[in-house]
Chain A
Amino acid sequence: MPDMPGLALDAQAPLLDEAGVRRAVSRLAHEVVEANGGTEGLVLVGIRRRGATLATRLASAIASFEGVLPASGALDVTLHRDDFAQRGLRSAPLPSDLPSIDGRNVVLVDDVLYTGRTVRAALDALNDFGRPKVVRLAVLVDRGHRELPIRADMVGKNIPTSQEDDVRVLLQEVDGRDAVVVVSKGGAA
């Protein structure tokens, strides 16, 4: 699937279609269990909003082949972001909802890894809830262009992109369908 900047969302095929997203989630689920050496102490913490949806999916995927449903939670990083002065009130903060993370093996989950600033904010926010034994990072899509020394431990799909584009992960629960698409910055159409 070629990377075609500037095209309208409905004028091109997605980078990942429904089956592609399903395979990527399934691959991530196996990698998470492998990295953790099982499900012992595992806590999946999704970054709101689509990261939280993905964390729930990963948890059920893991339950389907391990027979154990790992703990999961949702973390909102709006109030930990470093760009409030620039962004202002672009998105309303939402409450976080986490199980205990003290001494646990936390896997942070997000949909797209880009500059790394959201993950930095999430690491800060996690500190306020407790002290995990280890924190790993799982993302559905890594699109490159990091601005901070942050890398993902588990990646569903690496997608080289132009900085002129936005990569959007669409999920059934939020968007009505599963796909990964590229849209040009400054609007969907």
Chain B
Amino acid sequence: MTKLEFWQGNTACAEGALAAGCRFFGCYPITPSTEVAEHMAVKLPKKNGIFIQMEDEIASMAAIIGASWTGMRAMTATSGPGFSLMMENIGFAAMTETPCVIVNIQRGGPSTGQPTMAAQGDMMQCRFGSHGDYSVIALCPASVQEMYELTARAFDLADQYRVPVFLMADEIIGHMRERITIPDKVAQTPRRELEKGVLPFQPDAQLIPGFATFGKGYGVHVTGLTHDEQGYPCTTNPKVHAALVQRLVDKIENARTAIADYDVVNPDAEQVFVAYGAPVRTVRQVLHDNPRANIGLLQLRTVWPFPEHALTIFKHAKVFLVPELNLGQIAREIDRHVKVPVVSLPKLGGDLHTPSDLVAALEAHK
């Protein structure tokens, strides 16, 4: 039996994590993500899980990586300034292929910016914020229901691809309350354990190694240094480094179709909105208010790896309109993949685009 609730987005995020088997949460308080931590602080001890408030976000990220190596599903939640502090150990998680989930309830930046206002200014930081080349997975919920579902899916993706997975929400989705249907059970695909006789960083056909859980007798060495398939440091052999970094990128980019999650409305439209997170809601209002106009929508629930093939569904598109709560971070990405004009519709300050903002954009780009 499913059940209906009326929840805040951040509560739905925490509950989605718990339903997916998350039993370790390390965090540092930061607006507007604190409700995720507060909910986990209440619920985790009752489920024999570990909630720990660390001394900063660097330590939070470190703690969830440590917990993950013991086989636990582990998560942290933060916002702008904390997200910046996490970058160092996010790179470590990418390099050591540690499954973990990072929730970012985005607020206005740069710096301390607007703690209580929504933004989507960390989309590029999420993709490229730590040094060196690597790839990640980022999911963007646009409703309380999606906060629950995408958080739960984030754990499966993290375990399957052995990569940090980001839930890139925003203050509006995190703090809004709406009806949510809770499933009986969330399907869980556990991470693939390392087989006997296989090296701990030796990839399978999907370029992903089996996981050598601590405490099981593998004697695995995990290092952020460039390492060989044994896991041993190997920092001056150019071929070993190139092959490792290429694999870290390819294991995600090659799977972009499998990872992709999006919604298509009116695929024959000539004017197509591409949106993720809170702006999706304004676009849907415009579609609702103008049922006879042939306006398209591509809602991206996966932003990284970027599902570029989804853009080709709109065969008659003459223009892509991209409303974002930033200065066009994903509009630039879309522009790389299409031949028709891409119009960035930036909105800063914390307010959503109004439906009339978007209607005016439709008029201006007829």
Do A and B make up one complex?
no
